[in-house]
Structure 1
Amino acid sequence: MKMCIACGMPMTQIADYPLYDISKNYCKHCANKDGTMKTFDEKLASLTLRYMQSHDMDCAIAKHTAYVILKKLPAWKQK
């Protein structure tokens, strides 16, 4: 089973891949409409918003939490 290099999501079905392209190492949630991978800043913004909404977090705390989590993933270690 592949794991998304940009968010860590398990990719177990073809529908999990951007444009159903199983050669990609990132998931559909980390892809732009054309199938290219979103930038670190785009992922940071979307994950921050998700934490704020789903965990009722303050923006600064949500952003720090998202940053720490993303930096552990292969796509963002060098950022």
Structure 2
Amino acid sequence: MKRVFWVAVGVTIGVVAVAKAQAYVKANTPDKARQFLLGPDQNNVMQRTLAGLIEEFNTARKAREAELNRQYSGIAE
């Protein structure tokens, strides 16, 4: 239970830090630099980042699952 708590605290701190960093970048950089760093759709950076992370996780998970299925398919038969 302690681990879950500390992981949740770490995730929360990470989300807050990223949000603060993005707000700082938006407030203190010229528009061209912001577009280079955050992309043209600057309002949905967190959503795009989260969607990308989820997609990358699922791709890695499916690849590992396929690898394990190939590795152990002979044993199960």
TM-score (norm 1): 0.29
- Please tell me whether Structure 1 or Structure 2 has the larger radius of gyration of its CA atoms: 2
Q: Which structure has greater helix proportion?
A: 2
Q: Which structure has greater strand proportion?
A: 1
